[in-house]
Amino acid sequence: MNMSSRPRVFLVKVPCYTDAFSPPLGIGYLAAQLRDVADVTIVDAAKSRLSAKRFGELVAREQPHVIGLSLVTYAANNAVDFIHVARRAAPDAHIVAGGAHPTALPGAFLADAGDDLDCVLSGEAEFSFRAFVAAVARGVARPEWQTAAKDIPGLVRRGPDGIVHNPSGAHDADDYGIPAWDLMPPASYPESPHGAFFRLFPVAPIVTSRGCPYRCGFCSVPTLVGRKMRYRSPDLVVDEMELLRRDYGVREFQIVDDNFTISKRHAMAVCERMIDRGIVAPWTTPNGVRIDALDDELLDAMKAAGCYSISLGIESGSPKVLDRMVKHLDLRIVPGIVDAIVSRGMEAHAFFILGYPNETPEDAEETIRLAKSLPLTRANFSLFTPLPETPEYDRLSAEQKDRILDSRSFAQVNYVAPAYTARSLKNLQRRAILEFYGRPKQAMRLARAVRSLPLGFYVARRARRWLMAS
């Protein structure tokens, strides 16, 4: 491969089945850090529904020097196919994988992909990937890269005695800058963003913090981004919002932090900056916030800054199940906070998990009763999925490995708790959905949130998939 003065880099979002299509923020941050050392192209194979064969044709035509693939667990099989076709199309290219799945299981993914994959960059890879690409720009050939890149934080590679995993690094949240929005303009995405519902299009996701100090048994976020909370400057957050409105016509925002409200001071400051600088655009929190982090003062500030929908991680109506989750949630506070949200004219949306390892059908009934008792616009009833590098995954892999199923979607049964069969679990989820949304008052709440015919078709298609999957 003839190296130009600036390497050509493909950043690839590997597809898996999904209902939502939003600009890939992680890749956007990577691109922003690479632009002064490389020519970068974002290949959102999920949005374009790019097959492995067509991806191989693209690689053969463009001959990138570096290919970085970002993937979640349900995209792992597709990623292996993408890696193999890319290697055949560009034998000398440096092929790197990152994202949630390779970070959680780097050695296993290196084994699955074989020698066609050079390495994994685990955790937050913005600066480590930049260092890797800089080595390529210096002319380091593929057979020599392991020596050149041996000190890059988070790099996982094959060594003579097995897998070598360099310690990961983390930076202040402001160090990552602003994503390369020109490479993934929000208006180029379908009108089916994360969380499905919106009021004004185009919609842009934005993060204001990184990290999670909690140890919820079902969640891999602390493993992926660390337990230490790191906050972006509220001014930088609003600078990005202004850029998105001015240059890309964005009319609505989704704050997709894992813990936007964990620091009341930070959340209040973001809301105040939005108001002070005239960014009173509609926005939501589709990833969910901890319900016990909300109070009247913060809700008033969020409402004044344009928030119209808050998603809540309630997870279960059973104290016993919440204890196993290590959720640390007192269910007695839930009705009052949901009422406080709704009384301010905002929508409340809640996440619930069914089929947790110690759940019984009686526990599930408590969850369904709680959901139906609350004035929620929407409730998401998910079946428990043991994701790699979560506390429950490690525990179940040792104790109940035969109950973890090889499924390809969150809509399918991925784990069968001892109190259930796979069939009874899926039927439980169907019943929860139908009982919750089948009530006339609840159906009206949902109908008011569906503000266009295309969104109505999308919601119906999504509901059908969740109800029909097995």
> Is the per-residue pLDDT at 4 higher than 60?
no
Looking at the structure, tell me whether residues 283 and 190 fall in a common domain.
Answer: yes
What mean pLDDT, rounded, does the chain reach? 92
Looking at the structure, tell me whether residues 198 and 148 fall in a common domain.
Answer: no
Residues sharing a CB contact under 8 Å with residue 81, sequence separation 6 or more, in sequence order: 52
Quote the domain boundaries for residue 84. Answer: 8-165
Q: According to the model, what pLDDT value does residue 147 have?
A: 65
Q: Is residue 255 within a helix (H) or strand (E), and if so which, with residue range?
A: strand 252-255
What is the share, in percent, of the chain residues with pLDDT greater than 90? 77
Q: What is the largest CA-CA distance in the chain?
A: 66
> Is the per-residue pLDDT at 467 higher than 90?
no
The token duo for 330 is 């007192």
In a domain, 175, yes or no: no
Looking at the structure, tell me whether residues 231 and 121 fall in a common domain.
Answer: no
In the structure, what pLDDT confidence band is assigned to residue 145 with cuts at 50, 70 and 90? Answer: low
In the structure, what pLDDT confidence band is assigned to residue 143 with cuts at 50, 70 and 90? Answer: low
In a domain, 170, yes or no: no
Lowest model confidence (mean pLDDT) among 105-109, 220-224, 259-263, 298-302:
220-224
Top-confidence residue, 465 or 133? 133
Vertex 273 angle, CA 267 and 274, to 5°: 90
Looking at the structure, tell me whether residues 117 and 210 fall in a common domain.
Answer: no
Residues sharing a CB contact under 8 Å with residue 210, sequence separation 6 or more, in sequence order: 124, 173, 225, 226, 229, 230, 257, 258
Q: How many CB atoms lie within 10 A of CB 421?
A: 11
> Is the per-residue pLDDT at 391 higher than 50?
yes
In the structure, what pLDDT confidence band is assigned to residue 1 with cuts at 50, 70 and 90? Answer: very low
CA dist., res. 327 & res. 253, Å (int): 28
CA dist., res. 302 & res. 241, Å (int): 16
- Count of structural domains, the chain: 2
Average pLDDT over residues 39-46: 97
Q: According to the model, what pLDDT value does residue 437 have?
A: 94
Looking at the structure, tell me whether residues 155 and 197 fall in a common domain.
Answer: no
Q: How many CB atoms lie within 10 A of CB 204?
A: 30
Give 337-380 pLDDT, tens digit per residue. 999 999 999 999 999 999 999 999 999 999 999 999 999 999 99
> Which CATH number do you get for residue 122?
3.40.50.280
CA dist., res. 262 & res. 247, Å (int): 31
Report yes or no: 296 and 267 within 8 Å, Cβ to Cβ.
no
Looking at the structure, tell me whether residues 326 and 357 fall in a common domain.
Answer: yes
Give 50-74 pLDDT, tens digit per residue. 999 999 999 999 999 999 999 999 9
Q: According to the model, what pLDDT value does residue 392 have?
A: 95
Q: According to the model, what pLDDT value does residue 144 have?
A: 65
Looking at the structure, tell me whether residues 192 and 153 fall in a common domain.
Answer: no
Average pLDDT over residues 77-87: 97
Looking at the structure, tell me whether residues 387 and 449 fall in a common domain.
Answer: yes
Q: How many CB atoms lie within 10 A of CB 361?
A: 12
The token duo for 418 is 């001892």
